[in-house]
Amino acid sequence: MKRALITGISGQDGSYLAEFLLSLSQPAYEVHGLVRRSSSLNRQRIDHLFKRDQDAHDRFHLHYADLADASSLSSLMEQLRPDEVYNLGAQSHVRVSFDQPLYTSDVVGLGTLRLLEAVRQLNRTQLVKFYQASSSEMFGSAPPPQGLDTPFHPRSPYACAKLYAHWQTVNYREAYGLFACSGILFNHESPRRGESFVTRKVTLGAARIKEGLQRKLVMGNLDAKRDWGFAGDYVRAMWMMLQQDEPGDYVVATGETHSVREFLEVAFSYLDLDYRDYVEFDPKYTRPSEVDVLLGDPIKAREVLGWRAEVDFPSLVQMMIEHDLELARREKYALGYQMV
């Protein structure tokens, strides 16, 4: 039985990764997740993992700690002695990082260093493999396509902090021989995506408009282009990186790019709606410096890991729209029920 520790387990990727690891049998995994204390519970994405079969339930555990608190990280590491550590915890919203640059840098940048230090201490007595959730935002304004040889040019406090964390990961590998991998993942989405990221904002908004629960959708820059894949595919790549003989860095992407406008078109037309009748612009949703085009070159992930994205762009939009339409219908039904 292998033991994995996941930071950010309550987030989109953490929930898919935990689900994936618990589904493996050769080897089987015990999955430990780091959660922050909050005044109300925030476990919607992982609740179902406790309700699975008894065996999976017994192999799934949560612990209170915080990436801002080094002592909580080293205690947890010492207590659990994991074989694999996946660092997915982050203040992950790019726009918000302009409002909270210091907090974002602390959690995303220094938080990674705190965790790496805790891993390094443990690695003196046992092998601990480390995965860092790096981001295509680190490429920023570098012209597409972006691959492992593309020079980084970050455009937000979030991206700068991710770049710091990326280089710390590389340096811990080179300086201390740590089995540390940096996965430079391009945007990946799902029905579990946070509601303020653009894809989910669009699919939730379109579904609520279709059901008469909302009249318009207020958006920012529709010309930005992203390489969007499905989160469930991307967590497999994280695990694959840690199963290789040698640690390394990888770009994980679909190799296709689409604009926010195209996402709107496909999502609304799935519901027989024209997005132009509903979308309005508000500059508050733009960023002081934008990343115009992201398009990844995942050749190493394909050739070394044998990984490829299985869900294509139209299927991703459809999956998210169908999920959010069901949510909107339930919301409408609940409203009607209250009015009776």
Q: At what angle do helices 260-270 and 198-210 cross, to 10 degrees?
A: 30
Of 28 and 319, which has the nearer Cβ to ligand NAP?
319
User: Shortest approach of ligand NAP to residue 11 CB, angstroms?
Assistant: 2
Which residue in the set 201, 208, 210, 258 belongs to the binding site for ligand GDD (CB under 6 A)? 201
Write out the binding residues for ligand GDD, residues 103-142 only, by CB under 6 A: 135-137
Closest CA to 168 of 94, 250, 113: 113
How many residues does the structure list for the chain? 340
- CB 296, CB 237: distance < 8 Å: no
User: Shortest approach of ligand GDD to residue 222 CB, angstroms?
Assistant: 6
Q: Is 196 in the site for ligand GDD (CB under 6 A)?
A: yes
Q: Is 42 in the site for ligand GDD (CB under 6 A)?
A: no
SS3 24: coil
Residue 157: asked if its preceding bond is cis (omega within 30°), the reply is no
Which residue in the set 5, 13, 21, 227 belongs to the binding site for ligand NAP (CB under 6 A)? 13
What lies within 8 Å, CB to CB, of 215 at 6+ separation is: 209, 278
Question: For ligand GDD, how many residues bind (rule: CB under 6 A)?
Answer: 23
Of 41 and 339, which has the nearer Cβ to ligand NAP?
41
Of 67 and 80, which has the nearer Cβ to ligand GDD?
67
- CB 307, CB 244: distance < 8 Å: no
β partners of residue 268: none
Amino acid at 30: E
Secondary structure, 3-state, 121-181: HHHCCCCCEEEEEEEHHHCCCCCCCECCCCCCCCCCHHHHHHHHHHHHHHHHHHHHCCEEE
158 part of the active site: yes
Count CA atoms within 13 Å of residue 190 on its CB side. Answer: 16
Which residue in the set 4, 5, 12, 161 belongs to the binding site for ligand NAP (CB under 6 A)? 12
User: Shortest approach of ligand NAP to residue 275 CB, angstroms?
Assistant: 22
Q: Is 114 in the site for ligand NAP (CB under 6 A)?
A: no
134 part of the active site: no
Pairing relation of β-strands 60-64 and 84-87?
unpaired
Which residue in the set 220, 229, 296, 298 belongs to the binding site for ligand GDD (CB under 6 A)? 220
- CB 101, CB 21: distance < 8 Å: no
Out of 137, 156, 182, 275, the active site residue is 137
135 part of the active site: yes
Show the binding pattern over residues 30-69: x = contacts ligand NAP (CB under 6 A), - = does not: ----x-x-x---x-----------------------xxx-
User: Shortest approach of ligand NAP to residue 294 CB, angstroms?
Assistant: 10
- CB 180, CB 169: distance < 8 Å: yes
Q: Is 107 in the site for ligand NAP (CB under 6 A)?
A: yes
Q: Could you list the residues that contact ligand NAP (CB under 6 A)?
A: 7-8, 10-14, 34, 36, 38, 42, 66-68, 88-92, 107, 133, 135, 185, 187-188, 194
Query: Active-site positions?
Result: 135, 137, 158
